[in-house]
Every structure is written in structure tokens, then in C-alpha cells.
Chain A
Amino acid sequence: MSSTRTVTTIGLEGSANKLGIGIVRHTYDAKDLDPWDPNNPAEPKNVDVLANVRDTYNPPPGQGFLPRDTAAHHRDHIIRLIKLAFSDAKLTHKDLDAVAFTQGPGMGAPLSTVAMVARTISQLWGLPLIGVNHCIGHIEMGRAITGANNPVVLYVSGGNTQVIAYSRQKYRIFGETLDIAIGNCLDRFARVIMLPNDPSPGYNIEQYAKRGKKLADLPYTVKGMDVSFSGMLSFVEQLAKNDSSKRTKKQKTRNNNSSSSSSSKNAGEASIDQSSQEKEPEYTAEDLCFSLQETMFAMLVETTERAMAHIGASEVLIVGGVGCNLRLQEMMGDMAKQRGGKVFATDERFCIDNGIMIAHAGALSFATGFKTPIDKSRITQRFRTDQVHVAWRT
């Protein structure tokens, strides 16, 4: 048997409201790494997840997570989580080869908080620092877990919506959202109908959507390979608000009628109200969640299918927080099946932001000789997927 070499990396992720720490061990054939040949790059034989811990900042229902509060959450929990990751992995920092952290994209204050700790431990422990693009983390983790070889990647999360395919050492963006991300749209709608943020707004919408029956006609916006969600959000918010205001108005009129001798004015209003309700179909919150999901996911299936046709791929890999939505996986699966392919997806441990994906992607680039000097480790809120040189793939 040929000799092997291992690379053990800790990854720190905190670009949004999840704080994740992961430790991963890569096993290479020694001859693949030493000397490393850029013309014949190697990927590890084995990827072992040694620890994967996460703590999510959840604001109360009706509120989003603000950068300042999220950064404070990360500050409060990061040291505890790092200790927990080491005890889960049964390792100490002496077993590590590198420290990887999310350099971007994401929210400035939370990114900066986590980067600060990454820089400090890398200096304390004398380990190289590896800045990782968050999107690349998702893609590489999805590939490693599912074994998808060269898929079209649909990256759907709270901050990103991209259809991606690999070509010549870059993950190229085929299509993306022109305004807000799909997860952002879902989160904001969850706020309007006051769904809790625990465990996640998207999960709660998914549960509501299962009970939805009536499909509302929402604006379906696909422009070439790109999609747009902000118009749909305004539209569905309006439907939800009309609905709830109608309901309270109806109740009020009813109360007035029963408590006092009803004035003719009130009675008139009530009758107008009722007649308008008969004309317009009324949607429950469950119906709206259902309609929102169906319409948005259909848009993504359309653009993903077009990307597959374009590059002749039959596999789809769904990554990102929204990727653990089973309805999205089902719709994408139907499309892929019709094209003689299949869909790959991971569960919430790897779909939702985590430290493992950062450790994994960091380790891949570290094995190619990549390092981020401390003075070049500045975080960046905008960091496109196609800016990264994917040196570890041919």
C-alpha cells in the first residue's frame, strides 16, 4: 500500500446568523501531494468529518437578524463552540494543519467577528490561515457528501441564488437572482405572517405549504437565465395583508353588530365587505406559503434545466440552506428524471451553513499550496463564486 498523508483543518463559518465550527480530515496518497503538480491536481481519497457544531441566532417572530445583534451572538458563542468541536473530534490544536475561515460573501459584522478569532488562533497556534469563499464551501461540501461528479449546481440560500457549472478551474455563474435571494424572500414572507424563526423560517414555511390547497397566481419572473423574486414578495405580502385586514375588519363589524344596535353605516360596510370577499378568492397563510414555494421553485427548475441542456449535464446538485427543502428536491428530481439524470442533495447538517464546508474547501485549497497572509485576510461582503481559482480540479 502506498503511504498516505492527512490534512486536518478547522473551519470557522459565520457569514450570516449561523455560527458553525467544523473539523475535517483529508487523506491523500502521499505521491499526489508531494510534489504537488498543478497540471494534475489531486482531490483527497477520503474526507472524514470529525466535528460539526453549530449555533444559530434566532430573533423573535416578525423580526430579521440584524448585523450588530448577529455579531454579538457570534462573539458570545464562538469560543465555546471551538472547544466543543475539539472535544467532539477528540483532538487538540496540535493535531491541526490549518485554520480556514469564511472571508466572504456575507454580512460584514458577523464575518469580521469570526475572522478576528480565526486570525488570532492561527497566530497563537502557528498555523496557516486559509480564507474561503462561502459559495465554494457549499459547492465542494455538496460534491464530497453526495459524490456528484460534475453536476450543475443550484445554490439557494438566504443570501444567494445561483445556477453554477464548473468549467476550466472556475465555478461559473450561469444564472442568478437579479434582486433578492430566494431564502431572503421566504424569510421576509415568514415575518409578514409571523411564523417563528426557530428552527428556521424556511422550514416553517415548508410545513405550512404542505397544508396549502389553493394556488395563487403569483408573478413568475424568469429573464433569460436569471430570476427575480422581489416582485413576487411584494405581491404575496399584499395578498397576505389584505387577507388579514379583511379578517379583522369582518370581526370588528361583527362585534359592533352584536354589541350595539347596528347603525346602518356599519351594516352597509359589512355587506360591501362580504360581497368583495365572494369575488376575490381568499387565501389562507398555508395557501400562500404553498403558492410561493411552487412558483419560486418552478422558476429555479426552469433555469437549472436550461443550464443542464446547455452544458449537457444530467446531474443536479442542490446546496445552500433552501436546498434542504424537500419540495424543491422533489420538483428538481422530477425534472432531472425526465432528462435521464438525477438530483443530489444533502440534509440540514451540510446544507445549512456549517463550519465543515469551510474546513473542507479550505483544506482543498491548502493542499494546492494556497495560504492567506494575515494582512491580506480582510473580509469582503461581496466575493463572487467565479472569482475563485479552483486549483484542486482539472
Chain B
Amino acid sequence: MHSSSESECSDSDQQLSATHYDAKLPYTSDICLPFNSEKLASIAKNSIDADPEINPDRVHRYLSVENGDLIVNFECDSLKTLRVSINAFMDMVILVTQTMIHLDD
């Protein structure tokens, strides 16, 4: 639930990109978002992961949780779809974290 810090997750970034690399989807981005707890990060992952990306042949989105970090890895067919996907994802993360802040005990 804090702002993302790239350095914390740099080693996992490379692993993710290496495992999922697809030649048709060359534009990739990895984002790491630290949450207060493993549980909250998992809740966020489950909430977001239930609805798949709308264009599965143009965007691959992989979510995972590691040590309380929500890690997302995008692979897209163009810079535009990458930008749009990250935007949509950020809107979802903000909504989920706002819900946690305001509606959790």
C-alpha cells in the first residue's frame, strides 16, 4: 500500500521476464508494489486476477505475490497496449488499496 520502489524487487523482475518471454509480445514491463502484509497482497492479487485481460492475444498479464509484494509482469504487442494495460491495472490497484484503507478494520 506504499508507493512502489523498483530496487526492492529488481531480482525477481528478471526471473519473471525470462520465464514468460514471448517473441510476439516484445514490449514488457514489471511492476512491484509492496503491501503491508502477505495477506493484503494476496487479496489484491485475487481481486484483480479474477477478471482476465480483455485482449489475451495482445496482452499477457502475470500476477504473483512474493514477501508481501504484489508483482505484475506485462507482455504486450505494442507500446500502446502496454501503456493502456498498465493504466487500467493501476486504476484497479488504487481501487483495491483504497477499499482496504477505508473498509478494513
Residue of A nearest to B52 (CB): A378
Pair B43/A112 contact, Cβ less than 8 Å? no
CA of A233 to CA of B82 in the docked complex: distance in angstroms?
A: 39
Pair A124/B103 contact, Cβ less than 8 Å? yes
Distance in Å: Cβ of B71 to nearest Cβ of chain A: 18
Pair B100/A115 contact, Cβ less than 8 Å? no
Q: Tell me whether A115 and B50 are in contact in the complex, defined as CB-CB below 8 angstroms, given that A79-B98, A120-B99, A123-B43 are known contacts.
A: yes
Interchain Cβ contacts within 8 Å, total number? 59
**Counting CB contacts under 8 A, is A56 at the interface?**
no
**Counting CB contacts under 8 A, is A82 at the interface?**
yes
CA of A376 to CA of B46 in the docked complex: distance in angstroms?
A: 10
Contacts of B50 in A (CB 8 A): 115, 119, 374-378
Contacts of A93 in B (CB 8 A): 103
Distance in Å: Cβ of A77 to nearest Cβ of chain B: 11
Contacts of A117 in B (CB 8 A): 95-96, 99
Encode A97-141 as 1/0 by CB contact (under 8 A) with B: 000000000001000110111011101100000000000000000
**Counting CB contacts under 8 A, is B48 at the interface?**
yes
Distance in Å: Cβ of B8 to nearest Cβ of chain A: 24
**Counting CB contacts under 8 A, is A379 at the interface?**
yes
Distance in Å: Cβ of B39 to nearest Cβ of chain A: 9
Residue count of chain A within 8 Å CB distance of chain B: 23
**Counting CB contacts under 8 A, is B18 at the interface?**
no
Contacts of A378 in B (CB 8 A): 50-52
**Counting CB contacts under 8 A, is B92 at the interface?**
yes
Contacts of A5 in B (CB 8 A): none
**Counting CB contacts under 8 A, is A83 at the interface?**
yes
CA of A120 to CA of B48 in the docked complex: distance in angstroms?
A: 9
Q: Which of A108, A124, A375 contacts B104 (CB 8 A)?
A: A124
Interface residues of A in 355-379 (CB under 8 A from B): 374-379
CA of A124 to CA of B1 in the docked complex: distance in angstroms?
A: 15
**Counting CB contacts under 8 A, is A342 at the interface?**
no
Q: Tell me whether A379 and B103 are in contact in the complex, defined as CB-CB below 8 angstroms, given that A79-B98, A116-B92 are known contacts.
A: no
Pair B47/A119 contact, Cβ less than 8 Å? yes
Pair B46/A116 contact, Cβ less than 8 Å? no
CA of A379 to CA of B48 in the docked complex: distance in angstroms?
A: 12
**Counting CB contacts under 8 A, is A75 at the interface?**
yes
CA of A93 to CA of B105 in the docked complex: distance in angstroms?
A: 10
CA of A79 to CA of B94 in the docked complex: distance in angstroms?
A: 12
CA of A83 to CA of B91 in the docked complex: distance in angstroms?
A: 21
Contacts of A79 in B (CB 8 A): 98-99, 102-103
CA of A93 to CA of B94 in the docked complex: distance in angstroms?
A: 22
Distance in Å: Cβ of A101 to nearest Cβ of chain B: 11
Distance in Å: Cβ of B22 to nearest Cβ of chain A: 23
Q: Tell me whether A374 and B47 are in contact in the complex, defined as CB-CB below 8 angstroms, given that A79-B103, A121-B103, A124-B103 are known contacts.
A: yes
Q: Which of A108, A120, A377, A379 contacts B43 (CB 8 A)?
A: A120
Interface residues of A in 50-104 (CB under 8 A from B): 75, 78-79, 82-83, 93
CA of A117 to CA of B97 in the docked complex: distance in angstroms?
A: 10
CA of A376 to CA of B43 in the docked complex: distance in angstroms?
A: 15
A interface vs B, CB < 8 Å? 75, 78-79, 82-83, 93, 108, 112-113, 115-117, 119-121, 123-124, 374-379
Task: Identify 17 residue pairs between A and B in the complex whose beta-carbon atoms are under 8 Å apart, listed by A's number.
Answer: A79-B99, A79-B102, A108-B54, A113-B95, A116-B47, A116-B96, A117-B95, A117-B96, A117-B99, A120-B47, A120-B96, A123-B47, A124-B43, A124-B99, A374-B47, A377-B50, A378-B51
B interface vs A, CB < 8 Å? 43-44, 46-52, 54, 91-92, 94-96, 98-100, 102-104
